[in-house]
Amino acid sequence: MEQRTLLCLLLAVVVIAKPADEEKKSRVYNEKLSDEEHFVNDEHNPDYDHEAFLGEDEARTFDQLTPEESKDRLSKIVDKIDLDHDGLVTEKELHDWIEYTQKRYINDDVKRQWNANNPENRETLHWSEYKAMVYGFMENMDPSELEDEEGMTYAEMVKRDERRWHLADEDDDEALSIKEFTDFLHPEEAEHMQSIVVTETMEDIDKDKDGKISLEEYIGDMYRGAGDEFEPAWVSNEREQFREYRDKNGDGYLDEDEVKGWIIPPDYNHADAEAKHLIYEADSDDDRMLTKEEILNKYDVFVGSQATDFGEALVRHDEF
């Protein structure tokens, strides 16, 4: 149902778990560079680069393009990234482009949600109005139907959204400005909202509700085949990550501070890291800058004609 689609925005860093034989699910906040896992089976995932470079919502057609068409369209984007038009794409220019695609996703998403829930475009949106728009369908549903596929009831979703709404409502007037609405939809972007990201993550993973996350709960959140005799190698790696890096105090559990360090890593800028990675991949003369030729020679790293979900950014005419 259409209303259920809106509920998918409950947490930007959370994605629905995939079947046991597919890639793992990630809860690490990645500034919306991509919904793809950055590493799969300890190998760098090129799909992450494609989405980070082009932007998820603007990347839908490259699988239909020939290598020649891909390179032609990529060439046009390189001209936009090279803001000083000196023929060289610097790490900063690449960083700024990646941040731009991230912000464009957020701005487009907020605008779409704001218009849908506030069709008269008033300065603020009241909780009662939002609740009626998103959850009004509940009034005509049988109680037995009021539970989603993940086991959370719609009543619990309302309660969670209302709690997040009040945190975003900085002036406590029960209504959100578009800036506050942005914080509500994308709490990971606002420092004063990050606590709710941690709280919601804890609630999702902590199945026995003891206020901490065990190794079994941690693995079970990303791998539904937990306990199988032959589990993927990445699962063993995640067990090691939990013991060696996530569980800072070595007590066998993750508390709220440890969860925050996991899903919102401090002092780590994903746009910086991705810009450095793309330069590393394409910089053939090791001058820490990229010519258009170097980028086009590695066009598959940036867009990949075989990547089914990437490329629509190149057919838009409003990148800047």
| pLDDT tens by residue, 37-81 | 444 444 445 455 546 666 554 455 655 667 788 788 889 889 999
- Residue 132's contacts (CB-CB under 8 Å, 6 or more residues apart) are none
14 within a domain of the structure (yes/no): no
Residue 149 banded pLDDT, cuts 50, 70, 90: very low
- Residue 281's contacts (CB-CB under 8 Å, 6 or more residues apart) are 49, 298, 301
What domain range includes position 135? 2-7+24-31+44-212+255-315
Residues 7 and 157 sit within 8 Å (Cβ to Cβ): yes
User: For the ranges 93-102, 117-126, 143-152, 306-315, which has the lowest average pLDDT?
Assistant: 306-315
Mean pLDDT across the stretch 239-262? 96
Q: Tell me, what's the pLDDT at 143? A: 57
The CA distance from 46 to 264, in Å, is 22
* Most confident stretch, 100-114, 180-194, 229-243, 302-316: 180-194
229 within a domain of the structure (yes/no): no
Percent of all residues in the chain with a pLDDT value above 70, rounded to a whole number: 70
pTM recorded for the entire structure = 0.72
Q: Is the predicted pLDDT of residue 253 greater than 70, yes or no?
A: yes
**What total number of domains does the chain contain?**
1
81 within a domain of the structure (yes/no): yes
Q: Is the predicted pLDDT of residue 85 greater than 80, yes or no?
A: yes
134 within a domain of the structure (yes/no): yes
Q: Could you count the other beta carbons within 10 Å of the beta carbon of residue 298?
A: 18
248 within a domain of the structure (yes/no): no
The CA distance from 166 to 175, in Å, is 9
- Token reading at 181: 């609405």
Mean pLDDT across the stretch 273-291? 93
Q: Is 211 helix (H, G, I), strand (E, B) or coil?
A: coil
- Residue 253's contacts (CB-CB under 8 Å, 6 or more residues apart) are 212, 213, 214, 247
Beta bridge partners of 219: none
79 within a domain of the structure (yes/no): yes
Radius of gyration of the chain (CA): 21
Q: Tell me, what's the pLDDT at 30? A: 53
77 within a domain of the structure (yes/no): yes
Q: Tell me, what's the pLDDT at 192? A: 95
Q: Tell me, what's the pLDDT at 118? A: 94
Q: Tell me, what's the pLDDT at 26? A: 66
The CA distance from 88 to 72, in Å, is 17
Place of tokens 């910086």: 272
Q: Tell me, what's the pLDDT at 166? A: 97
The CA distance from 243 to 160, in Å, is 30
Three-point CA angle 168, 53, 185, nearest 5°:
15
Q: Tell me, what's the pLDDT at 48? A: 53
147 within a domain of the structure (yes/no): yes
Q: Which residues of 195-233 are buried (b: 16+ CB within 10 A; e: fewer)?
A: ebbbbbbbebbbeeeeebbbbebbbbbbbbebeeeebbe
Residues 76 and 27 sit within 8 Å (Cβ to Cβ): no
9: DSSP letter: G
Q: Tell me, what's the pLDDT at 231? A: 81
